[in-house]
Amino acid sequence: MLSKYFKSSLLKEIAAKTGTPTYVYSQAAFLKQVGAYKKAFKGLDPLFCYAMKANSSGALCALAAGEGWGADVVSGGELYRALRAGFEPGKIIFSGVGKTPDELAYALESGILFVNAESFEEVAELERVARRLKLRAPLSLRLNPDVDPHTHKYISTGRLGSKFGVSFEEAQKIYMYAAESAHLRPVGAHFHIGSQVHSAAPYGLAAGRLAAFMLRLASRGINLKYADAGGGWGVKEGGEMEDPAALARELGAVFAGTGLKLLLEPGRSVAAPSGLLLTRAIYRKASGDKNFIIADAAMNDLVRPALYGAKHPVELVGGGRGERRRWDIVGPVCESGDFLAEGVTLPEPAPGALLAIYSAGAYGMSMSSQYNSRPRAAEVLVTGPASWKVIRRRETYADLVAAEVK
């Protein structure tokens, strides 16, 4: 279980010194997931581009960069953070359906590896920006392979009718156009079928379609170098990631020996198991047949349960001797959808007891907000068996209004 990375005594110490709610990350857990990917894909030698949207904390990004990983960014802000965290520009790729001209210019001026474009209009804009900057933009297209990843509809992205990617038919026209342009350099092709995908089979299907398309392009004289299979690999409920060896086998069966450089964009699978949200029970109350724990963390800190019905395992830090009962764990935000967990069985917590909400390292802090004017949580990195450091201080009330202009 993930609790092996987070000793109760350390969590108590962190809560006492930094307060709650606090995101706590384990360096060991993060590096273990990175290591698992590297081992599984050893034969294929892909470029891993950490999907920063999962968790863009500078300290975690620096760990990924230190392992030789690149970054997958989806905004100018993420690119800024990526460069600041130490990712090599030549290992950064820029994805996303609506990059603005300013963001494209920033990416090209930074010398990133390539842009994953998602429409003809975006490619035309990229060309205009590149012309203005007097350079040739490295271009990859996100293709929609029309594959069902069997995941939550909000995080399923690889079917036709989704806003993401372009069809193979459309892509062919765009590549032909780009190949003729003095300011575009077609270098790759990309798919990302969704997130929290637990089976490797949809990747095999999408990869097969991508490879066949790349072959067709090559027969028309357009030879791409990079095949980007996106991210999305699943995490076991409450545990570590699914064995990436299955994914490596599927992708290896398609790409090994083709001479193409494979890219992967893992986010959640690396970050989710590496973090928990530490919160304190403030009050308990009963209503109808329900028992509530009112915690000091809320949906503004961790929105996944409210947004996707995501289930996060919860433990009372240091156990507890009270009677075991079913609880809904809710926060102070004025919304009925403000819950962190529903119907979890726990010993009755004393007011002030600490709760650990596991599997919260991905899409936790990065999706957090200041809703209800709640300053964002602090972030802590556990660096050794008894060592930890604050990697982002808790926001203050002054931070809430810092950008306001009178």
Ligand X SMILES: Cc1ncc(COP(=O)(O)O)c(C=O)c1O
Shortest CB 338 distance to ligand X, Å: 24
Shortest CB 378 distance to ligand X, Å: 23
Shortest CB 28 distance to ligand X, Å: 20
Name the one range near ligand X by CB under 6 A: 122-130, 242-250, 266-274, 331-339. 266-274
Name the one range near ligand X by CB under 6 A: 38-46, 171-179, 225-233, 289-297. 225-233
Name the one range near ligand X by CB under 6 A: 19-27, 130-138, 224-232, 326-334. 224-232
- Binding of residue 267 to ligand X (CB under 6 A): yes
Q: Is 288 exposed, middle or buried (0-12, 13-18, 19+ CB in 10 A)?
A: exposed
- Binding of residue 118 to ligand X (CB under 6 A): no
- Restricting to residues 347-376, name those near ligand X by CB under 6 A: 362
- Restricting to residues 32-71, name those near ligand X by CB under 6 A: 51, 53-54
Shortest CB 361 distance to ligand X, Å: 11
Choice between 165 and 349, CB closer to ligand X: 165
Q: For the window 231-260, what string marks contact with ligand X as x by the rule CB under 6 A?
A: xxx---------------------------
Total binding residues for ligand X by CB under 6 A?
17
Choice between 117 and 314, CB closer to ligand X: 117
State how far the Cα of 229 lies from the Cα of 312, in Å rounded to an integer.
27
- Binding of residue 195 to ligand X (CB under 6 A): yes
Q: How many CB atoms lie within 10 A of CB 254?
A: 22
| 334, 402, 403, 405: the active-site residue | 334
Burial 69-106 (b: 16+ CB within 10 A, else e): bbbbbbbbebbebbbebebbbebbbbbbbebeeebbbb
- Binding of residue 379 to ligand X (CB under 6 A): no
Which residue is nearest to ligand X, using beta carbons?
Answer: 267
- Binding of residue 304 to ligand X (CB under 6 A): no
- The only residue of 269, 274, 279, 368 in contact with ligand X, by rule CB under 6 A: 269
For this structure, is 334 an active site residue?
yes
Shortest CB 178 distance to ligand X, Å: 20
Residues whose CB is less than 8 angstroms from the CB of residue 143 and which lie 6 or more positions away in sequence, other chains included: 165, 166, 167, 168, 171, 189, 190, 191, 209, 210, 213
Shortest CB 310 distance to ligand X, Å: 12
Choice between 209 and 280, CB closer to ligand X: 209
Active site residues: 334
Give the residues lining the site for ligand X (CB under 6 A). 51, 53-54, 72, 95, 192, 195, 230-233, 265-269, 362
